[in-house]
Amino acid sequence: MLITIPDVLTKDEVAEFRHLLDAADWDDGKTTAGAQSARVKHNQQLPPTGDLAQALGQRILQSISAAPLFLSAALPLKILPPMFNRYEVGEAFGMHVDNAIRINPLTQERLRTDLSMTLFLSEPEDYDGGSLVVEDHYGTQEVKLPAGHMVLYPSTSLHEVTPVTRGARVSSFFWLQSMIRSNEHRTILFDLDQTLQDLAVRAGADDPEVVRLTGIYHNLIRMWADS
């Protein structure tokens, strides 16, 4: 399941983020890559424990915590601090899969990576190449969203960032551990929740069928959620 979460940041917020990020000092992206990923990772990365990364990351977390579509799709249990990367001309991240377990650089807590997220901070017309390409059960999907929009996809997916040939691609990326381990179960719950919301608008939240389906939704969460 690949879901676009629009307007995580406003255009003014994106401009503020970019003003700060464009003036920042960037590290080699290989510093946080696993053994396999390091061979194909060629980009720049903001130090994840630095003050700027922490401040901007906290603002992103506050924004997504108020986004109903994100909460419905992700059912988050724990979210790793957002990180930031930059791809300039000739830089790319070849096909790879994200590490199953990642360590929170601030707390040293280990999290299982169920879902990966990329929040775009460059407008598509400002750079060529640099598409996020995700392989899933439905084939290969190419993602290049407006600045301020975010894509959410299973961390089990093979994916890559194609080489940038003009301009610079700046984004935030991070992972979460969901209350629901199975991607298939999350997809069912997301579809049911979205259907419930549509039905409640048409029939009313007190409609007996809406109430019954809401009970089924929550009982499925009880059945599938990690303790």
pLDDT digits (tens, 9 = 90+) for 49-97: 999 999 999 999 999 999 999 999 999 999 999 999 999 999 999 999 9
Whether the Cβ atoms of residue 217 and residue 196 lie closer than 8 Å to each other = yes
Q: Is 96 annotated as a binding residue?
A: yes
Tell whether 45 and 112 lie within a shared domain: yes
pLDDT at 136: 80
CA distance to 46, 111, 135, 158, 225, per residue, from 97 (Å): 21, 16, 10, 5, 24
Alpha-carbon distance of 49 to 176, in angstroms, equals 18
Is 206 annotated in some ligand binding site? Answer: no
Per-residue pLDDT reduced to its tens digit, 142-176: 999 999 999 999 999 999 999 999 999 999 999 99
Q: How confident is the model at residue 34 (pLDDT cuts 50, 70, 90)?
A: low
98 belongs to an annotated ligand binding site: yes
146 and 51 fall within a common domain: yes
Q: What is the mean pLDDT of residues 211-218?
A: 96
Task: Yes or no: say if 122 and 169 are a contact pair by the CB < 8 Å rule.
Answer: yes
Mean pLDDT in the chain?
A: 94
Q: Are residues 149 and 173 in the same domain?
A: yes
Instruction: Choose one of 155, 178, 201: the last residue of a domain.
Output: 178
Q: Give 159's Cβ-side CA count (13 Å radius).
A: 25
Q: Does the annotation flag 185 for ligand binding?
A: no
pLDDT digits (tens, 9 = 90+) for 120-132: 999 999 999 999 9
pLDDT > 70? residue 101: yes
Please check whether residues 11 and 56 belong to one and the same domain.
Answer: yes
H or E segment to which residue 18 belongs = helix 11-22
Both structure tokens of 206: 């007190």
CATH number of domain containing 43: 2.60.120.620
pLDDT score for 35: 64
Same domain, 12 and 78: yes
The residues near 23 (Cβ < 8 Å, ≥ 6 apart) are none
**The predicted structure's pLDDT at residue 33:** 65
Q: Containing domain of residue 53, as a range?
A: 3-178
* Residues 127 and 200 reside in one and the same domain: no
Q: Name the domain count of the chain.
A: 2
Say if residues 167 and 127 touch (Cβ distance below 8 Å): yes
- Domain identity same for 49 and 34: yes
Q: Identify whether residues 50 and 84 lie together within a single domain.
A: yes
Note the pLDDT of residue 31. Answer: 74
DSSP structure string for 153-171: EETTSEEEEPPEEEE-EEE
Supply the pLDDT for residue 190.
97
